[in-house]
Chain A
């Protein structure tokens, strides 16, 4: 079980709107044509549709598609924030292969 400490720099009040949130693992899709990227809610890395340099092509997104979290931060904070994961079989299959 991974629980990040209170001193973690990535913690910036996300519990207000992400505690207990449900996530799906998805390829990044911008919410509209002229919105080309989003950031991880915690570490602020980018998710981009064009998969440019430094951009992540996929990650965990809330069911309302408003909030994106990268794989590392998802793993780091899933217990602390009691994240629920739905429809992400693909991610966990890939993760199991990596082990």
Chain B
């Protein structure tokens, strides 16, 4: 168990912003409120507390597709996680282009957002049923797959 500093409150469950958070090297920036992910536990920093040097939120400025300063512990992304749009038809960012089956709408399940600069893809699988439910599939710059779930939860393929 990683001890939490006084300035951090532990939150288990849903992070603010649903799919809209930006997660960088295990740290989620939900627009002013910094939320960290340790394994499957979400930690949330109180907004009123000044940033501490050396804290995890340093990684939030790492550009997409670039290695973050946070080492990959096995179940945390090595790269900054792209911002997932609320509407899957909207691009996740200026470098992203839609690649989809001809005749199918952008943001549908027969295609993905692709970043040619990094090689990343983001596939919306928002109609998926069962226990997994609605999610996005993110392929990072190394070809590793991650599942981005509502609430900022991230799961790496093959790691429990």
A binds B: yes
B interface: dominant SS:
loop
Asked if B36 is at the interface (CB within 8 A of a chain A CB), the reply is no
CB pair B142–A17 under 8 Å, yes or no, is: yes
Asked if A38 is at the interface (CB within 8 A of a chain B CB), the reply is yes
CB pair A16–B110 under 8 Å, yes or no, is: no
CB pair A13–B119 under 8 Å, yes or no, is: yes
Considering only CB atoms, which chain B residue lies closest to A17 in the complex? Answer: B143
Asked if A63 is at the interface (CB within 8 A of a chain B CB), the reply is no
Q: How far is the CB of A18 from chain B (nearest CB, A)?
A: 8
Residue-by-residue, is A65-95 near B (CB-CB < 8 Å gives 1, otherwise 0)? 0110000000000000000000000000000
Please tell me the size bucket of the interface on B: 20 to 34
Chain A 12-64 residues near chain B, CB threshold 8 A? 12-14, 16-18, 31-32, 34-39, 43-44
CB pair B114–A34 under 8 Å, yes or no, is: no
Q: How far is the CA of A34 from the CA of B160 in the complex (A)?
A: 8
Q: How far is the CB of B64 from chain A (nearest CB, A)?
A: 14
Q: How far is the CB of A9 from chain B (nearest CB, A)?
A: 5
Residue of A10, A16, A34, A36 near B119 (CB, 8 A) is A16
Q: Which residues of A contact B158 (CB under 8 A)?
A: 31-32, 35, 66
Selected A-B contacts with CB under 8 Å, 29 pairs:
A9-B100, A9-B101, A9-B111, A12-B114, A12-B119, A13-B114, A13-B116, A13-B119, A13-B121, A16-B143, A18-B143, A31-B157, A32-B159, A32-B160, A34-B131, A35-B147, A35-B155, A36-B130, A36-B131, A38-B145, A39-B123, A39-B125, A39-B137, A43-B110, A44-B110, A44-B112, A44-B123, A66-B145, A66-B157
Residue numbers of B with Cβ under 8 A of A are: 99-102, 109-112, 114, 116, 119, 121, 123, 125, 128, 130-132, 137, 142-145, 147, 155, 157-160
Given A11-B99, A38-B145, 14 more pairs with CB closer than 8 A: A10-B99, A12-B114, A13-B121, A14-B143, A16-B119, A16-B143, A18-B143, A31-B158, A32-B158, A37-B128, A38-B157, A44-B109, A44-B110, A44-B111
